[in-house]
Amino acid sequence: MAATDRYASARNLFRNLGVDTDAALETLDKFPISMHCWQGDDVIGFDREGSLSGGIQTTGNYPGRARTPQELMSDIEKALSLIPGHHRINLHASYAIFGKDEAVDRDALEPRHFRKWVAFAKKNGLVGIDFNPTYFSHPLAATGRTLSSGDEAVRSFWVRHTVACIRIAEYFARELGTPSALNIWIPDGLKDIPADRTTPRAIYKKSLDEIFATPYDRSLVEITLESKLFGIGMESYTVGSHEFYMQYAAKNNLLCLLDSGHFHLSENVADKISSLLLFAPKIAFHVSRPVRWDSDHVIRQDDMLADIAREIVLAGPERTILALDYFDASINRIAAWVLGMRNMQKALLAALLLPNEKLARLQAEGDFTQVLVLQEEAKNYPVGDVWAEYCRRKGLQPREEWLAAVREYEKKVLLKRK
């Protein structure tokens, strides 16, 4: 059967279920995903020599890691060429690009250090750039405390860094015409059971108050706060906990960011979305996959992803800021990007193809039998044929054929990096 016939047949099946596949594809196109630049170079960045620190880790030594801005940009371009739709890119401050003798420390970063990224985004038709201050892989983060540090020189350095980053995010938004999400995640924590849980949190609160006392354009920059349960070497206490940020965001009109790897493994991240959205205009995500711990594996089309995608679809693109966050160095890094991005899109599409209104009505009526039956039967509807149609409309291949293009690039480019 030709692909278009398969789509026509799928469209009929979904129509009988009360779902409009063309409308679903239109909506899918309105969900830009912020692709994280750091999958391409194992979260190393360009602003200094040294390895990754801050309680996060990449594992694996697959060849071909991008070592320069040019290499990273070329790899991102390759990945984007295999991903349908219009997307954003997510940068860290550590990806600043300095000219000769132009290197500055993180508290002195300026928009001009990101000019090349803006040119890159424009050239590739990206919808926008999101941004993250980098509070790790730096000598002043070596004690495991940054914005919560009791050492005033350290603390104020990171305050200045954050303010500098807000300016850069404003610059991204102005240049690209869409707001830039600026996400704050600090690694601060303790390895063993604290004697004093309060003081570091109080210092951190003071730092945030100080940062946000500097005015910025809220129509350009959306500040999101990313909580965490633990980090490697900081297993017992994390200053920026979920409760800390929920309250801070609520009181200061900022947004919470949920990283799906940052909760107890039996906790359902999808369940948090509807609660937070009753009290906040938007919610942000780092979609990741924890395997036994916050391991940042490439996202798969698993139940967790399906559940999160469904809540995101119900909330709609206007109320969600969607980014990916994983870093796998044991497989081809471009394949990791492409697969994760496409998996996120497929999960969104599958959620858009559910008879969501009907299911909600049945729940309200108390017909839990039909809810259960429909939820399960829907899993075997031909979502893949609708996905194939989406790819066809975008001029891309729907299935694993994309890997051949990655392999070719690997042979020609990645394996030559020694």
d(CA 87, CA 79): 12
Residue list 255-274, contact with Zn ion (CB under 5 A): 259
Q: Residue 386, SS3?
A: helix
CB atoms within 10 A of CB 285: 26
CA distance 236 to 191: 5
Query: Do 301 and 346 meet the contact criterion of CB atoms below 8 Å apart?
Result: yes
Determine the number of helices (DSSP H) and then strands (DSSP E) in the chain: 14, 12
Rounded to whole angstroms, the Cα distance separating 189 from 241 reads 10
Q: Which candidate in 130, 259, 328, 389 is catalytic?
A: 259
Binding partner of 56, given Zn ion, ligand RNT, none, CB within 5-8 angstroms per partner class: ligand RNT
Active site residue 228: yes
By beta-carbon proximity to Zn ion, the closer residue of 248 and 409 is 248
User: Sign of dihedral through CA atoms 309, 23, 10, 15?
Assistant: positive
Q: Work out what residue 38 binds among ligand RNT, Zn ion, none; the CB cut-off runs from 5 to 8 Å by kind.
A: ligand RNT
From the CB of 337, what's the least distance to ligand RNT, in Å? 14
Name the active-site residue from 170, 175, 325, 389.
Answer: 325
Nearer to ligand RNT, 279 or 293 (CB): 293
- Among residues 42, 170, 188, 226, the one that binds ligand RNT under rule CB under 6 A: 226
191 classed as catalytic: no
For ligand RNT (CB under 6 A), the number of binding residues is 11
Q: How far apart are CA 26 and CA 29, in angstroms?
A: 5
Is residue 47 within the footprint of ligand RNT (CB under 6 A)? no
Binding mask 320-339 for Zn ion (x = CB under 5 A): -----x--------------
Q: How far is the CB of 92 from ligand RNT (least distance, A)?
A: 6
Least distance from Zn ion to the Cβ atom of residue 290, Å: 11
Q: Is 262 a catalytic residue?
A: yes
Among 88, 113, 242, 286, binds ligand RNT (CB under 6 A): 286
* Residue entry with tokens 């990224």: 117
Say how far apart CA 265 and CA 210 lie, in whole Å: 34
> Between residues 7 and 158, which has the closer beta carbon with respect to Zn ion?
158
Measured CA to CA, the distance from residue 235 to residue 242 in angstroms comes to 15
Please pick, among 42, 75, 130, 226, the residue that the annotation labels catalytic: 226
How far is residue 21's CA from residue 148's CA, in Å, rounded to a whole number? 49
Distance, CA of 13 to CA of 242 (rounded, Å)? 42
* Range 171-190, binding ligand RNT (CB under 6 A): 185
Catalytic site includes residue 92: no
Helix (H, G, I), strand (E, B) or coil at 106: helix
192 is catalytic: no
Q: Least CB distance from residue 104 to ligand RNT, whole Å?
A: 21
Position 145 contacts Zn ion (CB under 5 A): no
Q: Please select the residue that binds ligand RNT; options are 38, 95, 172, 337, rule is CB under 6 A.
A: 38
Q: Which residue lies nearer to ligand RNT by CB, 67 or 411?
A: 67
Task: Give the strand pairing for 237-238 and 189-190.
Answer: antiparallel
Q: How many residues does the chain have?
A: 418
Binds ligand RNT by CB under 6 A, chosen from 41, 75, 325, 385:
325
Alpha helices per DSSP H over 177-327 = 198-213, 242-252, 270-277, 303-315
Alpha carbons 117 and 7: distance in angstroms, whole number: 38
**Residues involved in catalysis:** 185, 226, 228, 259, 262, 286, 294, 296, 325
